[in-house]
Structure 1
């Protein structure tokens, strides 16, 4: 059974085709990077995978559980979403709460409503949260307000929250976009460790191609809402990458590229 399964997913915003017949699968334990220029559909795809947005057509399943089909979100989406950890670009932490309190929110789906409402956690639950913080190397800051921590520390807290949640799939949307190089490295190492030690499938969208190649054995490249490459990161060529990030009205893929994309864009005549 695939960790993520997407079949013929399409989404239109106004006149723009944000996702165009996208199909892909990610196996349990895979570490996969999603690359492409801004507006290529990466973030839109991740939001659909988590059930935040309904598509116009197509189907998504996570570990066999239906997320959505033909424009309808699954009725039990909250229960299914419990196995999906989402790491946002802007950390998505509550600044006035302690780091530990933020991480413990990953358990809210498992505890009774009266305790979740007032964020009342048992000693065992708190110990679990501290263990997750220790795993990402920031347990020394457990009782510090989240707003006082660096961006890299907050992002590692978001990863710890996914661990506490018990996520089987981790989706990360540009998690290092606003971080310095050293913090970026640490966050990617944490995602790699989660993938390796916990067997989570990780799908991470990145603008930094060199980091995607370094940390992810498999790359999925998107352009204009379509998947144009899905394969080993080692097979990406400079010519293909130059074309991937070129404006949509520029020339098609270079003939000397050793990467065969899944579709060839229509050539546009050069300006006179």
Structure 2
């Protein structure tokens, strides 16, 4: 069985020579649900953006990222066919990345854009089969009755589940979720995480989710990868995540339920930039 995600010699340096990622090797197998934890600024979001080709690694090294058997980037160069590669990668942003003025169904149908000709999408004339697929995806995440509402009228948890439904319509084999419950109440957080866990267990979708809440990571994920200053300092089962390991990961900033991470802005999808 080939890995779902392969990371080799990934280095990323921001202005001022500040190294934000320094990952020698990391592999995720198909069907795994892996939590990425770490303090704010540890590189969690940056890592996910590199996996989807939204950010480019440092040039000149031997870095390589492969997702679903296809090279996303190598030696600091994004693959020319990265848009096609992204068709198999669902990205769930912290701030939902929905178009508020459009119906929920239309937002979810955006997941089908990569496989439809432009003339079928400009006026919103999605084929009946794609509309049925979108309705089924909304049913899977428990909000089918909200399909005709404007996305802006949904609660945060409902919007996040709509974003997950969009990834289902997309046909993603890998879902990258960047702090998907950061702004949600406990019950909405549980529903979103349970939705991701169900898709992982029932559909075999590989899920890589960055989380600030360690207890949630331990509850829903069978594997936890911890970052500190862009480096992997722990990779193992939740049962191995001791207080000593957490002290190494977070230092003096051990997480608490009241602590909220900074908001990460997500780019609008192409269909919403008009």
**TM-score, normalising length: structure 2:** 0.89
State the distance in 2 between where 1:118 and 1:202 align: 33
Matched, 1:170 2:172: no
Aligned equivalent of 1:3 = 4
Q: 1:34-55: CA deviations, max 9, x gaps?
A: 0000000110000000000110
Correspondence for 1:84 among 83, 86, 89: 89
Within a 5 Å distance, the mapping from 1:127-138 to structure 2 comes to: 127-138=132-143
Q: Which residue of 2 aligns with 1:234?
A: 239
Moved more, 82-91 or 116-125: 116-125
Q: Equivalents in 2 of 1:225, 1:179: separation in Å?
A: 26
Q: Would you say the 8 A contact 2:12–2:57 is kept in 1?
A: yes
What is the aligned partner in structure 2 of residue 181 from structure 1? 186
Q: Which of 206, 209, 214 is matched with 1:201 structurally?
A: 206
Q: How big is the shift at 1:203?
A: 0.2
Query: Please, which of 87, 97, 104 is the counterpart of residue 102 of structure 2?
Result: 97
Q: Please give the alpha-carbon distance, in whole angstroms, between the structure 2 residues aligned to 1:89 and 1:73.
A: 24
Measure, in 1, the Cα distance between the counterparts of 2:25 and 2:252. 24
Counterpart for residue 75 of structure 2: 70
- TM-score, normalised to structure 1's length? 0.89
Return the alpha-carbon distance in structure 1 between the equivalents of residues 57 and 237 of structure 2. Answer: 28
- Contact (CA 8 Å) 1:93, 1:154: kept in 2 or not? yes
Kindly state the Cα deviation for residue 119 of structure 1 after the two structures are TM-superposed. Answer: 2.6
Which residue is 1:269 aligned to? Answer: none
Q: CA deviation at 1:22?
A: 3.7
Match of 2:28 in 1: 26
Aligned-residue offset at 1:247: 4.8
Is 1:35 aligned to 2:43, yes or no?
no
Report the CA distance between 1:117 and its aligned residue. 2.6
Which whole-Å CA distance do the structure 2 matches of 1:95 and 1:18 have between them? 33
Cα deviation, residue 239, structure 1: 2.1
Match of 1:60 in 2: 65
For residues 110 and 7 of structure 1, the distance between their equivalents in structure 2, rounded to whole angstroms, comes to 30
What are the superposed Cα offsets for residues 201-232 of structure 1, whole Å, 9 maximum, x if unpaired?
A: 10000000000000001000000010001111
Distance 1:233 1:223 in 2: 17
> Unaligned regions of 5+ residues in structure 2, if any?
254-274
Residues 1:221 and 2:226 aligned together: yes
Per-residue deviation, 1:118:
2.7
Query: Aligned to 1:153, what secondary structure does the other structure show?
Result: helix
CA contact (8 A) 1:217 1:234 kept: no
Instruction: State which structure, 1 or 2, has the greater radius of gyration over its C-alpha atoms.
Output: 1
